[in-house]
Amino acid sequence: MPAIDPDRLRKQVAGVASVIGDPAELRRRTLDILEFYADRTRRPGPSTRVDDVSPAFGVARPVMKSLTQALRRAAAGKPERGLAAAEALWQTGYREARLLAAALVGDQFGEPVMEWVESHARTTDDNIVLAELAGQGTAGWRVVEPGGFVDQLARWLDSSRRGTQQLAYLAMTSAVEDPRFHQLPRLFGLLAGRAGSVRGETRKALYRLLRALARRSPPETTHFLIAEVAGGDPAAIRMARNVIDSLPHDNAGRLRLTIPGGPRVR
């Protein structure tokens, strides 16, 4: 990867942003700049990690930050242009381009955006991209219409697709980590009784969500987990054991008293 010269990068990024209204040219210029700043030392090898499924350039964070900011400014106030640009970037299949697409979508809001996020989440097995799509990709809708955002989460959770359920848990986690989001009681209501229906990556996403809730609102999370454990579902007990260490000492102590056999981890 060549050294980053601020002036050169600024000009390159401006050239990409200037064609925001031309999806085909935007795609070409974006791939050019990603190729220019690619990490040539990376050597893809055999891996079974889900995080490795998308081809990636290994572009440095400052380049991605500059591209993201410039594209978001260029698409500001023009939702149709932003979605068209996001689609062109997503279709490249490259991780960095898809991360840029998620950022562009995240500045838009309304049901078409949530539909876009859901349909495109089905086309990736890359957990890094999926997390960005769930978080940054829903940010605009989450801020402008938090009630509608939670309604959409409920529909995703009720989906028969485990990938869509995972998307919901990831989007919830981003919402919980956003101090502007104040719909926590509704989230707890959506989560009640779901511990036994999750498996694999979806279960991991649920546990990460509950740890985020434990940090954001320890009393509410403790109350929720105690109620879940009281139902006697082994999956709920396993969930409580997995999350208990994320709670403050006093809250963890209250929860520990309700867990049969103590808080064994996993």
Q: Structure tokens of 86?
A: 């996001």
pLDDT of residue 264: 56
How far, in whole angstroms, is CA 46 from its chain's centroid? Answer: 26
Q: Structure tokens of 261?
A: 């056999």
Region 234-250: what's the mean pLDDT?
A: 97
Confidence check: pLDDT of 172 > 90: yes
What is the pTM assigned to this prediction? 0.88
pLDDT tens track for 183-235? 999 999 999 999 999 999 999 999 999 999 999 999 999 999 999 999 999 99
Which regions of the chain carry the CATH code 1.25.40? 149-266
Q: Report the CATH fold assignment for 149-266.
A: 1.25.40
pLDDT tens track for 181-193? 999 999 999 999 9
Q: Measured between alpha carbons, how far is 49 from 41 in angstroms, rounded to an integer?
A: 20
pLDDT tens track for 48-95? 344 456 799 999 999 999 999 999 999 998 888 999 999 999 999 999
pLDDT of residue 194: 96
Q: Structure tokens of 247?
A: 């709670």
Orientation angle between helical segments 162-176 and 200-216, nearest 10 degrees: 20
